[in-house]
Structure 1
Amino acid sequence: MFQLGKTIVSEDILGKEFVCNLSACHGACCVDGDAGAPLSEAETKILEEIYPKVKPYLRKEGIAAIEAQGTWVTGTDGELETPLIDNKDCAYVIFDGKTALCGIEQAYNEGIVDWKKPVSCHLYPIRIKDFTEFAAVNYDKWDICDAACSLGKELEVPVYKFVKEALVRKFGEDWYAELEVIATEWEKQKHKF
Structure 2
Amino acid sequence: MILIDNTCISDDVAEKFFVCNLEKCKGACCVEGDLGAPLEPSELAVLDEIYPKVKPYLMPEGVKAIEKQGLYESDGDDGFVTTTINGRECVFANYDERGILKCGIEAAYNDGKVDFKKPISCHLYPIRITKYDSFHALNYDRWPICSPACSFGEQLGVEVYKFLKEPLIRMYGPDWYDELVKEIETR
Q: What range describes the TM-score normalised by the shorter chain of this pair?
A: over 0.9
Letter in 1 for 2:56: P
Higher alpha-carbon deviation: 100-109 or 128-137: 128-137
Give the Å deviation of 1:78: 3.7
Task: Specify the alignment match of 2:130 in structure 1.
Answer: 129
Give the Å deviation of 1:76: 3.2
Letter in 2 for 1:85: I
Give the Å deviation of 1:131: 1.3
Letter in 1 for 2:108: A
Higher alpha-carbon deviation: 125-134 or 166-175: 125-134
Letter in 1 for 2:115: D
SS of equivalent residue, structure 2 residue 114: coil
2:27 is aligned with 1:38:
no
Distance in 2 (alpha carbons) for counterparts of 1:118 and 1:53: 16
* Runs of 5+ unmatched residues, structure 2: none
What is the percentage of aligned positions where both structures have the same residue? 52
Higher alpha-carbon deviation: 140-149 or 124-133: 124-133
Letter in 2 for 1:62: G
CA contact (8 A) 2:2 2:183 kept: no
Matches within 5 A, 1:61-100: 61-96=61-96, 97-100=98-101
Letter in 1 for 2:126: P
| TM-score of the aligned structures, taking structure 2 as reference length | 0.97
Letter in 2 for 1:127: R
Give the Å deviation of 1:12: 0.4
* Runs of 5+ unmatched residues, structure 1: 187-193
Give the Å deviation of 1:70: 1.1
Task: Specify the alignment match of 1:172 in structure 2.
Answer: 173
Distance in 2 (alpha carbons) for counterparts of 1:108 and 1:180: 28
* Over 4 Å off, 4+ runs: none
Deviation track 1:26-81 (CA, whole Å, cap 9, x = no partner) reads 10000111110010000011001111111111111000111111111112344311
User: What is the total number of aligned residue pairs between the two structures?
Assistant: 186
SS of equivalent residue, structure 1 residue 85: coil
Give the Å deviation of 1:17: 0.3
2:122 is aligned with 1:116:
no
CA contact (8 A) 2:94 2:102 kept: yes
Deviation track 1:159-193 (CA, whole Å, cap 9, x = no partner) reads 0000000000000000000000011012xxxxxxx
Deviation track 1:116-169 (CA, whole Å, cap 9, x = no partner) reads 000010111001111111111110000000000000111110000000000000
| TM-score of the aligned structures, taking structure 1 as reference length | 0.94
Deviation track 1:59-105 (CA, whole Å, cap 9, x = no partner) reads 11000111111111112344311000000100000011210000000
Distance in 2 (alpha carbons) for counterparts of 1:178 and 1:17: 20
